[in-house]
Amino acid sequence: MSTALSTDSSEPRAAAKVPSKVPAAENTLRILKLLASRRGPMAASQIASSLDLPRSSVYHLLGVMEANGFVLHLHEEQRYGLGISAFELSSAYSRQEPLSRLGRPLLASLVDAIGESAHLAVLHGRDVLYIVEERAKNRPSLVTDVGVRLPSHLTASGRAILAALPKSQVRALYPNAAAFSARHEVEGAIMKYSSLSSHLDRVRQRGYATEHGEVTPGFGSIAAAVTDHTGWPTAAVAVTFLEDKLAPEEWPALAARVQKAADELSVRIHGRPTK
């Protein structure tokens, strides 16, 4: 006999309560789980109320987590969001094989269907880290080998993930001009936050991300985000190809295939397809 499980993940589920011998450690993890379950940053007072904790304790724990990079204080909003160290933990989980094991057969099927190379990438700080590459037969090798890191704002994979993040999180990752870099001189290069923000708005409207020669001249990429059960971007599926081999009017059809593979991987990790 099976028991239906609730799919409401707006609040962390309460486990059977056993008095903790290390309440500070337990409450730190509760705060991180709460922030991870939300689509955007929260005020300290909201955190305290949601977890039934004293505000003074919450502020103390948030201060320690901020000092270690696990939370980020957005001063203008007076809210707290997940920090770089939390992203690195998420990426570390992905690198320890579950995501790559689930994604590899889907990428192999995608490559067989379209005859172009595909890869799976996760966010690692401001970079994307490539964890799976499936190279198509008779296609050239790419810079996106497994283990390679590239600036996320330059890549289709990174743009797909960034577009699925709350805007406040993207702003935290790109606080100033020093956060931007370029591999090649290309027209319309994204080198400031306003350009990145406008580009990500177009990605959200279109449902997929693109890249035109910013990583390797002559090569284009199309990517779609893989999301978990809260809608948080866990990774991105992308295909890369010689741009002169694919007419612009053919890009949307290829994007639909990429989106289908990303949606299927979202389901396999108990997530939900992007809308």
Residue pLDDT, tens place only, 216-225: 899 999 999 9
Say what the pLDDT of residue 4 is: 35
Within 13 A of 98's CA, how many CA atoms are on the CB side? 10
Q: What was the pLDDT predicted at 15?
A: 41
The model's pTM is 0.66
pLDDT digits (tens, 9 = 90+) for 127-149: 999 999 998 887 766 777 788 89
Percent of the chain's residues with pLDDT above 90: 61
- Confidence band, pLDDT 50/70/90 cuts, at residue 66: very high
Write down the H helix ranges in 38-179: 44-51, 55-67, 84-95, 98-114, 156-164, 167-173
Over residues 148-173, the pLDDT tens digits come to 899 999 999 999 999 999 999 999 99
Interval 168-197: pLDDT, tens: 999 999 999 999 988 877 777 899 999 999
Question: How do the residues of the chain divide into helix, strand and coil, expressed in percent and rounded to 5?
Answer: 45, 20, 35
Q: What strands lie across the sheet with 117-124, from one edge to the other? A: 149-151, 127-134, 117-124, 233-242, 219-227, 209-212
Give the pLDDT confidence score for residue 126 in this predicted structure. 92
